[in-house]
Chain A
Amino acid sequence: MAIVTVDNGNLVVEIEGLDKLWALKSRLAIPLANVRGATADPGIAREPKGIRAPGAHIPNVITAGTFHLDGEKVFWDVHDPRKAVVIELADERYARLVIEVEDPRAVVALVESSVR
C-alpha cells in the first residue's frame, strides 16, 4: 500500500509496511512538472510486467519493485489490483508508477487537480 501526497511542488509516494522491503524503496518524490496524470486501473495487473530487477514478484500475491518492459522502467507496488492507480511520469527514471492506494478515486482526483 502507498500513501500519495502533494508537498512543495512534489508528488510524494510513500510505501508502507513490509512493502518497503519487497519494493526496496520507501519514498519517491517527483516534481509535479514531471507528473502527467493518474488513472484508477484494476486491469493493469493482468498485463505483462516484464523483467523484475530489483524487487519481489510472486504472481497473484505481490508485485513490487522495478520492472523493465519495452525499454521502460515501471515501479510496481500492488497486492490488490482493485486498488491499483497508474501515475504516468515524464523525464523521470520511471516511466510510470503502478501503486496500490486506499482510495483510488481520491488519489486520482488529487494528482489530476495538481497537474492540470
Chain B
Amino acid sequence: MGRPRGFDEEAVTRQAVALFSARAYDGLSVDDLVTGLGVHRNSLYKTFGSKRGLYLTVLRWYLRHKLEPALSSDTAQLQENDTLDLLLLAAAEQAPHDREVGALVGSALARLDDVLGPDAANQLLGLRLRARINTGE
C-alpha cells in the first residue's frame, strides 16, 4: 500500500507516545492528534487506518522501544519519569473493553512481574500512579 511521502512514521509514532501518555484516549480528538503530530488528517488515516490503528501502533512501539529497554536499566527511575504512564493509562481505560489492548497490556504486566517480581511491580505501578497526581505543590 502506498505511503504518503515525507511522512516519518517512526517519528510520528514516537511523538504520539507522548500524546497518549499524557491524555486519556477519549480525551484526545483527531484534531488534537493532527495538531500535536503536525501531519495532515488524510495522511494520518492513510498511514494508520484509524485513531485506534494509530493507538495500537503506538502501544506496540512503546512496549518494545520504551518500556522494554527501561526494564533492563535502573528501574528505580520508573517512578520519577513518564515511562510507565502509557501502560498505566492503557490498563485503566482501553484494556478493559478492547481485547487487543488488553492482551498487550497483560503481557507487558507479566513482563514487569518477571523482571521485578510481582510485589515490587505492583508497588512501582502504584507509586507511579500517585507520583503523576498534580497536588499543586
Q: Is the interface of A mostly helix, strand, loop or mixed?
A: mixed
Interface size on B, residues (CB 8 A): 17
Residue B29 at the chain A interface, CB threshold 8 Å: yes
B residues in contact (CB < 8 Å) with A: 1, 29-31, 34, 41-42, 45-46, 48-53, 56, 100
Please give the distance in Å from A100's CB to the nearest CB on chain B. 16
- A39–B45 contact, CB under 8 A? yes
- A44–B30 contact, CB under 8 A? yes
Q: Is the interface of B mostly helix, strand, loop or mixed?
A: helix
Determine the chain B residues whose CB is within 8 A of the CB of A39 once the complex forms: 30, 45, 50-52
Determine the chain B residues whose CB is within 8 A of the CB of A59 once the complex forms: none
Determine the chain A residues whose CB is within 8 A of the CB of B51 once the complex forms: 37, 39-41
Complex partner residue of A38 from B42, B50, B56, B100, CB under 8 angstroms: B50
Interface size on A, residues (CB 8 A): 23
**From residue 83 to 116 of chain A, which have CB atoms closer than 8 A to chain B?**
86, 88, 90, 95-96, 108, 111-112, 115-116
Determine the residue in chain B with the shortest Cβ distance to A111: B50
- B45–A43 contact, CB under 8 A? no
- A96–B45 contact, CB under 8 A? yes
Determine the chain A residues whose CB is within 8 A of the CB of B50 once the complex forms: 36-39, 86, 88, 108, 111-112
Please give the distance in Å from B93's CB to the nearest CB on chain A. 14
- A88–B30 contact, CB under 8 A? no
